[in-house]
Homo-oligomer: A and B are copies of this chain.
Amino acid sequence: MFLHPKRIPIRVGNKYIAILNEKTAATMDLHPEDRIHIKTSSKTLTAILDVTERKELKDFQIGLYAETWDKLGLKKGKKVHVNVAPKPESDTYIKEKLMGKTLTKEKIDAIIKDVVEDDLSDIEMTYFVSGCFTRGLSDNETVNLTKAIVKYGNKLKFKDRIIMDKHCIGGVPGNRTTMVVVPIMTALGYKMPKTSSRAITSPAGTADTMEVLANVINEAPKLKKIANKVGGFITWGGGVDLAAADDRLIRVRFPLKLDPEGMLLASIMAKKFSVSANHVLIDIPMGPEGKIKTKKDAKHLKSRFLSIGKKLGMKLKVIFTDGTQPIGNGIGPVLEAIDVMRVLKNTPDAPQDLKKKSIMMCAELLFLTGKYKSRQTAEKIVTECLESGQAYKQMQRIIQAQGRKKMKKPGHHQMNVFAERAGKIVNINNKLIANISRTAGAPKDNGAGVYVYKKTGDKVKKGEKLFTIYSENKVRFDDIKKLPYKNTYKIN
């Protein structure tokens, strides 16, 4: 049927949506959420149908949101031909998953292709996430999902035999090892094209912290050039479209904060696979307040990572680390960047836990190459690289290549918190520290956050300084006083 298009001057975010009034929809036997083909003389587009009241649109008029109108290259006055589109085959596969069936490579491919090409509505994508969540994904399904995400996204290819990468499950404040590990490994001559995330619910992601020092570039060809020139980069993965399907699925996972295990694994592995990584270190911090609370959960996750890594042809190592307290002293982008540069510069005030953990991780990566007899040998090489200042010089090259930024100072609203009694620190409340830092303004206000001076096991005197809170904004600074910030440290 031919209809009169009407432009609706609003973008709905990479979705093609068309609207008919009730009468027109009924005449055409169409329902909300139906898929329709809209044809001009030269183009055809598939859109999802919405149905509105009769007073909103004329009969035989079709409302097209800006994306749809623009994609069709429509001009006023031209009619379009509209008919019902066949349901995408992936609907059947999604239903199969919901019913508990295992999906073949071809079916997963079809679903991810439809996700990337915007052929699935939010509702259909949600059903897919639900299916993966309730029925689980086998290792094979996860591998196929990983490959499909990479297939329908950008990919960075390198000629090098060894491409390194690392990933941390997260949940630990501070913990900016990536920004120490990448300079070391690239200084040692390995390629390490590292994409990281921004904070969603934490006070800072690696991308937020790196952005304090340099641009986090998002053009794939530019990134490839930088990696080939200086060995690596540290950037924000979200902008590069390396895993476009993943980004879309994450959007529908957001409302319920749903992390189907197989999808989470595929999401992580796709980001490694899409930069051609073949030597990968996975860091699983454990702690009662973290994402992985028990050894049992950590072991389960480890075995899945190993199995999937093997199927993807990666050398992969999984380590369990301490997730009970912050790593490094700074929490918040600027404060964390200060920590990182202190470690790289080998200053006396450099946080030793961040240094030690980074060296250990580099040694693991180096040992993974199979070139060294023992981890000790590898660790010696890594330590030498860091302590000689080579890693620092390498970081300067990376910053230069990405585009140096002038580093801000920490927020000038500051408050020190002191020990109310003498004793030994038995616990630091990670969640509260994160909450204080976010309330102070991190990560948006990148100078906001917390800087700690003491770690678990340290002895303190009454009145000794425990940590400083920084904020760039008076109102936010005052909000902190409403938090139970004095409970951050438990002293016994």
Chain A positions within 8 Å of B, measured between CB atoms, are 8, 10-13, 19, 26-27, 29, 31-33, 50-53, 56, 63, 66, 87, 91, 94-95, 98, 100, 121-124, 126-127, 130-131, 133-135, 251-252, 254-258, 444
Contact = CB atoms under 8 A, between A and B. Distances in A.
B123 A29 contact: no
B53 A11 contact: yes
B126 A52 contact: no
A386 to B, nearest CB: 35
A124 B52 contact: no
A86 to B, nearest CB: 13
Contact of A10 (B8, B121, B256): B8
Contact of A127 (B27, B50, B126, B135): B126
Contacts of A135: 134
A284 B26 CA distance: 29
A32 B13 CA distance: 10
Contacts of A133: 98
Given A255-B91, A256-B95, A130 B126 contact: yes
B124 A134 contact: no
A281 to B, nearest CB: 30
Nearest to A12: B50
A237 B123 CA distance: 25
Contact of A254 (B31, B56, B122): B31
Contact of A11 (B32, B56, B94, B126): B56
Query: Which of A10, A29, A87 counts the most chain B CB atoms within 10 A?
Result: A10
A94 B256 contact: yes
A32 B251 contact: yes
Given A10-B52, A26-B444, A126-B130, 17 more contacts: A8-B8, A8-B10, A11-B52, A13-B32, A13-B52, A32-B251, A98-B256, A98-B258, A100-B134, A123-B123, A123-B126, A123-B256, A126-B126, A126-B127, A130-B130, A130-B134, A134-B135
Given A8-B10, A133-B98, A256 B127 contact: yes
Nearest to A130: B130
B63 A252 contact: no
Contacts of A95: 256-258
19 contacts: A10-B52, A11-B52, A11-B56, A13-B50, A27-B444, A33-B251, A56-B66, A95-B257, A100-B134, A122-B122, A123-B123, A123-B126, A124-B255, A126-B127, A127-B130, A130-B130, A130-B131, A130-B134, A134-B135
Nearest to A31: B254
Given A133-B98, A134-B134, A444-B26, A255 B12 contact: no
B127 A258 contact: yes
A325 to B, nearest CB: 26
A31 to B, nearest CB: 6
B254 A32 contact: yes
Contact of A63 (B10, B52, B126): B10
Contacts of A10: 8, 10, 19, 52, 56, 63
